[in-house]
Amino acid sequence: MDIRRLEPFAWGYVHSPKPDVETRIAHGILTWAKEIPLTLDVTDWFVSPLYRMSSQAVSYERADGIVLRDEVRRRNISEYPEDEELINVYYDWFRPYETLRIISKHRTPLQEKLEVNKCCWAAGGGHSNPDYEMLLRVGTKGIRDKIALFRKIHTDKADLYDAFEMTLDAFEIMAKRLQDLARERLPGASGEEKTVLERLVRAFDNIPQNAPRDFFEACEFFWLAFTFLDVDSPGLFDYALGRYYENDDEKDRYACLEKLWELFHKTRTWNLCVGRSDEFGNDCTCALTYDVLRLAREKKYDTPNLTMRTHPGTPESLWRAAAETLATGIGMPAIYNDAVVCPALESIGVPASDSHLYCMNGCNQIDIFGKSHMGLEDGEISVCKALEFALFNGVCKFSEEKLGADTGDAAGFKTFDELMAAYKKQIEYMADYITETSNAAQRDFAKYAPNPWKSLTVQGCIEKGLDYKDRGPIYGHGQVLTEGLPDTADSLAAVKHYVFDEKKYTMAQLVDALDKDFEGYEDLWSDFSSYNKFGNDTDDVDEIYADITDHIYRYFRTKKTFRGGVFGVGCSTFHRAPNYGFHCGALPNGKKKGEKLLADSIGATPGRDVCGPTALLNSVTRGNQYLATSGNVMQMKFNKAQFMTETGMAAFIALAKTYFSEGGQTLQINVVSREELLDAQKRPEKHKDLIVRVGGFSQYFVKLDGPLQENIIARTENIM
């Protein structure tokens, strides 16, 4: 057994020519590129290493840095029992360097409890959106020229620039090895296989050193870069590849796109974004924009995660294409509004020329294409847990431990303002924890897990002589997500009405009722659970929603990130809403302890909006979405039958445009019938292809766990 071939990254890291961590990681990547076994599946057309870093016992990964996998170590020992000692020596050598283990050592017992009890959590890694447009335009030769230029400026950063060069060597070696494989197979090939192999050999004569000459080369260059080490988000896909698509044969380019789409689905690619405006308001859609939506309609896959940007000048034909794609039921594209997102980014210092290059990373968080490390996710906060802390003086009613701040005995509050002040203090307490913990993690990632590949493909790093994780990118803002905003607004509105306005109940009675999970307080529960709910265009609830949203978003902006920006906020609950609901005790909106129903977006708690879609969106726009610099997800569900008619599709487009004109940031749409969802629960084998939008991504309904299925079923089915 050759340990260099079995664990190439580990061997390269250990045997690095220099001891600095940047060189060690780059030498590990270089050894990996030289040693991993390669195969070619020409039916895919576009090739990259199928042997992932994650298949090794010691690997380097985009978000988590150095990762150890004990199951792989054990598998290696079972295959090579005579080399057990050597395998263990290499594995054990890395234990002190496992990035997440280093970061976890900084967590205090209180921080651990806050996370375990779903109060809030913090991290510091995340997704990224490399500048594929730049990479394809200048090739690796252009990047080497840039390194040479800035090496002369930052003369004290020789080791870092050496690591950058070594990583480029690894990328070019991988391309050369793939070309050699294609050339070796050519003599025995025929038909389509021969054609593809010839195209690959020709492509690698030019790329990655130079810009692609056609769309096939652009796809191969992109795919090799996109899959190098890991798979993440393509970002502004039509911006990066649109020029090559425009100038190529229509039939061949669509065939290339179709092959790439299959690869995106096979690898469960994250967020691919199309459509946009520039800083002057010009529409930037192209033929590739439309054909991406066409492919999504034809394939009907749950991946890649597809987003479409809109603006006041978006062509009607593109709105129509989006609506037709949504009508297939795949829950995509998610639709974003440049008229809100761009000003939000500009309010934290991103100039218009760059704000209009925003895209999504991961599920739906906002990034600046090729120019930022914007977190995802730096943290998350349970807004309703903060209310629980305010009502019980910092005590978590799930664990019965004191986890929050001291804000006094709520039973003695005499005014609603006292309750709101206590609530906001608990929010600030959680925000302080999240930002401090996240910044500590960010520092550790920078120190122990630099990423030379991302540094080469994200602008600012080469220019500054700083790694991608060490404040290198032009923008280093943070992103924190919220859970349970609507549930909290409902709760506070009911307290204000029944305790402080009508004085039907006292705070002491309410606190006791919540502590006893409403047992013995059935009348109180009936009143509070039936009071006005957010999402029905009701002033008192909507005003509280706007107040608490504004406070959260503005307070986080006062906190600086280690990466050199500020913390922004949004709402993207993914699949976690039921778990957050379960870990929260009884609430004044009528929720009982152990119940899992919780708002899955900035919209109403599922099923609580009963006055139609216009009322729902009127409520949501009361919150200032120009403050949201992370994806501010708004989920809606419509019946399939409506999208099958011209009138229904036109009504949806009009509704979406109106919402965006009133300050809405994003829409994520499910087009599905309640009956179909219920039947899928009973007979999952009959609905294996049923896709739903979860909360930032689409997934096959039958693969979701029970509570999440119930959450989706409970969403109001809007009628236009």
Q: Report pLDDT digits (tens) over 660-674.
A: 999 999 999 988 878
Count CB-CB contacts under 10 A for residue 400.
10
> Of the candidates 115, 125, 43, 129, which has an alpha carbon nearest to the alpha carbon of residue 454?
129
* β-pair type (65-68, 379-382): unpaired
Long-range contact list for 700-704, CB < 8 A, 24+ apart?
700/302, 701/677, 704/575
Q: Give the whole-number percent of the chain exceeding pLDDT 90.
A: 82
Contact, 412 vs 506, CB < 8 A?
no
Q: Which of 155-164, 571-580, 611-620, 623-632 has the lowest mean pLDDT?
A: 571-580
The pLDDT tens digits of the residues spanning 343-372 come to 999 999 999 999 999 999 888 889 999 999
Instruction: Kindly give the residue spans of alpha helices, DSSP state H, lying in 36-131.
Output: 70-79, 84-93, 99-104, 109-116
Average predicted confidence (pLDDT) for the chain: 94
Q: Give the integer Cα–Cα distance in Å for 141 and 211.
A: 9
Q: Is the pLDDT of residue 628 over 90?
A: yes
Residue 396's alpha-carbon distances to 77, 385, 507, 593, in angstroms, are 45, 8, 18, 12
Q: What is the CA radius of gyration of the chain?
A: 26
Q: Give the integer Cα–Cα distance in Å for 425 and 543.
A: 19
Give me the pLDDT at residue 230, please: 83
Q: Give the integer Cα–Cα distance in Å for 278 and 356.
A: 6
Q: Is 37 exposed, middle or buried (0-12, 13-18, 19+ CB in 10 A)?
A: exposed
Give residues with Cβ within 8 angstroms of 596, minimum separation 6. Answer: 577, 578, 579, 581, 582, 707, 710, 711
Q: Which of 265-269, 300-304, 375-379, 567-571 has the lowest mean pLDDT?
A: 375-379
DSSP state of 410: G
Q: Give the integer Cα–Cα distance in Å for 162 and 9.
A: 18
pTM tops 0.75, yes or no: yes
Count CB-CB contacts under 10 A for residue 711.
26
Q: Give the integer Cα–Cα distance in Å for 334 and 342.
A: 17
Which residue reads 């030019």 in tokens? 206
Give residues with Cβ within 8 angstroms of 499, minimum separation 6. Answer: 416, 505, 506, 507, 510
Give me the pLDDT at residue 50, please: 64
Contact, 581 vs 500, CB < 8 A?
no
Q: What is the mean pLDDT of residues 450-461?
A: 96
Q: Is the pLDDT of residue 575 over 80?
A: no
Q: Give the integer Cα–Cα distance in Å for 126 and 78.
A: 34
Q: Is the pLDDT of residue 125 over 80?
A: no
Q: What is the mean pLDDT of residues 396-417?
A: 97
Give me the pLDDT at residue 654, please: 95
Single-letter amino acid, residue 513: A
Residue 574's pLDDT band, with cuts at 50, 70 and 90, is low
Q: Which of 22-26, 180-184, 672-676 has the lowest mean pLDDT?
A: 672-676
Give me the pLDDT at residue 690, please: 83
Residue 694's pLDDT band, with cuts at 50, 70 and 90, is confident
Q: Give the integer Cα–Cα distance in Å for 162 and 617.
A: 53
Q: Give the integer Cα–Cα distance in Å for 570 and 664.
A: 13
C-alpha dihedral sign at 283, 287, 290, 292: negative
Give me the pLDDT at residue 720, please: 58
Q: Give the integer Cα–Cα distance in Å for 525 and 5.
A: 65
Helices H, strands E: what count in the chain? Answer: 31, 19
Q: Is the pLDDT of residue 642 over 90?
A: no
Buried b (16+ CB within 10 A) or exposed e, 299-328: bebbbbbbbbbbbeebeeebbebbbebbbb
Q: Is the pLDDT of residue 229 over 80?
A: yes
Residue 124's pLDDT band, with cuts at 50, 70 and 90, is low
Q: Give the integer Cα–Cα distance in Å for 369 and 436.
A: 27
Q: Which of 38-47, 333-342, 369-378, 531-540 has the lowest mean pLDDT?
A: 369-378
Q: Is the pLDDT of residue 401 over 80?
A: yes
Q: Is the pLDDT of residue 634 over 70?
A: yes
Give the three-class secondary structure for 636: strand
What are the start-end ranges of the E strands in 256-340? 271-274, 305-310, 334-337
Query: Both tokens of residue 403?
Result: 């986890």
Q: Report the half-sphere exposure of 576 (CA within 13 A, side-chain side).
A: 21
Q: Which of 42-51, 120-129, 498-507, 603-612 has the lowest mean pLDDT?
A: 120-129
Q: Give the integer Cα–Cα distance in Å for 174 and 485.
A: 48
Residue 297's pLDDT band, with cuts at 50, 70 and 90, is very high
Query: Both tokens of residue 131?
Result: 């500048």
Q: Is the pLDDT of residue 433 over 70?
A: yes
